Amino acid sequence: MHKTRNTLDKKVRKAITDILAVRLADSQDLFYQIKQAHWAVRGPGFLSYHELFDKVAEQVEDYSDDMAERIGQLGGIVAGTIAAVAKGSTLKPYKLDLVDGRAHLEAVADALAEFGGKVRGDIDNAGKAGDADTADLFTEISRGIDQSLWFVEAHLQAEK
């Protein structure tokens, strides 16, 4: 931990930066999973899926930045390299052989839902650890991920 004048107890800051580090790895993995869909999608609806995936990925990238900055604010060390992300992500791997738009929609929806569930758990964990600010950050991320999931799932529901 870096020295900081942040008034949160050092044990709280350490616990929170550990939680944030895992979710940062997950968010970076999620970003690249969605970019994989953006780059690989083919077929009917290509343009709308391509643009949707890009918009969702940009939002996830913003959340990654927010979490990395929070780690720094608390005196933690940010591990944001591809190697660190690959080692630290807890998300299920994305299938690289997907092409069909619906298959990518399903995979992205699954990844968003998995990530969203983990973030909701982090809201409680940050609160229990004594950091309401990080709990608030996770709440903001949770709301945004739920909205992105809704956008992606709306495409799936319309096709049934």
**Predicted confidence (pLDDT) per residue in 103-148, tens digit:** 999 999 999 999 999 999 999 999 999 999 999 999 999 999 999 9
Answer yes or no: is 69 within a domain: yes
Answer yes or no: is 29 within a domain: yes
> Which range marks the domain in which residue 34 is found?
10-158
**Alpha carbons 71 and 85: distance in angstroms, whole number:** 15
pLDDT at 8 over 60: yes
Mean pLDDT along residues 17-23: 97
Q: At residue 100, what are phi and psi to the nearest 5 degrees?
A: -60, 140
Q: Looking at the whole model, is its pTM more than 0.85?
A: yes
- pLDDT of 1 reads 87
Question: How many domains would you assign to the chain?
Answer: 1
Answer yes or no: is 3 within a domain: no
Cα 70–1–22 angle (5° rounding)? 50
Answer yes or no: is 101 within a domain: yes
Backbone angle region of 121, left / alpha / beta, with phi > 0 → left and psi within -120 to 50 → alpha: alpha
Q: How far is CA 141 from CA 4, 7, 54, 83, in A?
A: 25, 24, 17, 24
- pLDDT of 127 reads 95
pLDDT tens per residue, range 31-82 = 999 999 999 999 888 999 999 999 999 999 999 999 999 999 999 999 999 9
Answer yes or no: is 5 within a domain: no
Answer yes or no: is 1 within a domain: no
Answer yes or no: is 4 within a domain: no
**Alpha carbons 159 and 152: distance in angstroms, whole number:** 12
Answer yes or no: is 136 within a domain: yes
Q: Which of 89, 82, 87, 91 is nearest to 116 (CA)?
A: 91
3-state secondary structure of 106: helix
**What CATH number does the domain containing 14 carry?**
1.20.1260.10
**Alpha carbons 135 and 128: distance in angstroms, whole number:** 9
